[in-house]
Every structure is written in structure tokens, then in C-alpha cells.
Amino acid sequence: MSSLNVVSTPNAPAAIGPYSQAIKANGFVFVSGCIPLDPTAMEVVSGGITEQAQQVFKNLTAVVQASGSSLDKVVKTTVFLKSMNDFAAMNAVYTETFGDHRPARSAVEVARLPKDVLVEVECIALA
């Protein structure tokens, strides 16, 4: 079995609980759920779903890159939305972020997210 390597970067928010930003194991990178926190202030960015989704994907990108991987190696994402009414706006930001790359994806509406944000995204990428 391969060792587990913790991924950490100051370019994304520090974990706000007992978890890592990401773990590299067996040729994969498992990125924890990213929420729209500004990594410097550790505060939720102002604005609605578009601004929050943009920050989420900045944070996700920073963690993926810190692992030595890249967005074009993402194989699966899971999107958690406070409201499915925000799906189209989130999807527009998602498309801007990933371009022509189309990882497998799930998107679900949840009752509540950390810090009452509107969106959280996690992913798995090839290392």
C-alpha cells in the first residue's frame, strides 16, 4: 500500500476542522470540500452564488495544483448546493473553470453547508 501524503497550501483556506485540504494516495488526489472562504481573511466572500462559486473554484484549483496535479486531471467532482435554483449560475462558473474538460460529476442540494455558504465542491484527481 502506498503512503498517504497530506497536501497543504496557503493559497487556499486552512482546514476549519480535523481534516486535510487534500490527501495524495495510490496515484490519486482526494480534495476535501472547498467552500468560498478567502484564504487570507478566512471569511466567506461577499456576493451571491456566482461570486461564491468563483472563490470555491479558485480554492479547489489552488489545492489541486499544490498536490502537483492540475484541473485537466480531475476525474470526479461533487457539488453541494444550498439550493438547486443556483445550479445554472454554478454551472456557468464550473464551465469557465474546467473549459472543455468534463470530469464525472454529481450535484446535490443539501440542507446546510459550513458557515451557511451557498456552494461547496470536492474532487478526485490523478496525481
Q: Please report, for the chain, the start and end positions of each structural domain, with discontinuous segments joined by +.
A: 5-126
Phi and psi angles of residue 74, each rounded to the nearest 5 degrees, phi first? -70, 130
Q: Can you give the pLDDT at residue 38? A: 97
User: What percentage of the chain carries pLDDT values higher than 70?
Assistant: 98
Query: Which of 32, 44, 54 lies closest to 122 in space, CA to CA?
Result: 32
Kindly state the average pLDDT of the residues 62-88. Answer: 98
Give the pLDDT mean for 6-25. Answer: 96
Q: How many CA atoms lie within 13 A of 73 on its CB side?
A: 16
Query: What is the pLDDT, as a whole number, of residue 49?
Result: 98
Fold of 5-126: 60s Ribosomal Protein L30; Chain: A; (3.30.1330)
DSSP 52: H
* pTM of the shown model: 0.96
Q: Kindly list the distances between the CA atom of residue 123 and the CA atoms of 39, 41, 44, 46, 48, in Å, as whole numbers in the listed order.
A: 19, 24, 20, 24, 22
